[in-house]
Amino acid sequence: MARNDDVTLVANIWTQLTNANAAAIRVANAGVSSVLLKATSGVAAPTNTTGSIVLNSGETLAADLTLAQLWPGVAGANRLWALSGTNSTVSVSHADA
């Protein structure tokens, strides 16, 4: 299912930003803390931060690159997760894959 929403992040817990398989996603960090982004192939949450992208406060990851292009080492990347050291909010928008 496509998503266009604000997502609340609970400190130190991986939160799934996609609510269905997605090929690309726009993420804007609306919080004051940096957020780590990590793709997976499936609905299991990441277990580490290896390969994450840092999105600083106020920065946006545009949807002009696919998850496969941003995480070429993750075969079948179709879900995106976020992790922050503090409670935070990100704005997300994606279409179904």
Note down the domain range covering 83.
3-94
Rounded to an integer, what distance in angstroms lies between the CA atom of residue 1 and that of residue 85? 28
Count of structural domains, the chain: 1
Mean pLDDT of the chain: 96
Structure-token match 């992208």, residue found? 53
Rounded to an integer, what distance in angstroms lies between the CA atom of residue 93 and that of residue 97? 13
- Find the CATH number of the domain harbouring 7: 2.60.120
CB 65 within 8 A of CB 24: yes
- Both structure tokens of 34: 């940096």
Q: What is the pLDDT of residues 31-73, one digit of tens each?
A: 999 999 999 999 999 999 999 999 999 999 999 999 999 999 9
pTM beyond 0.85: yes
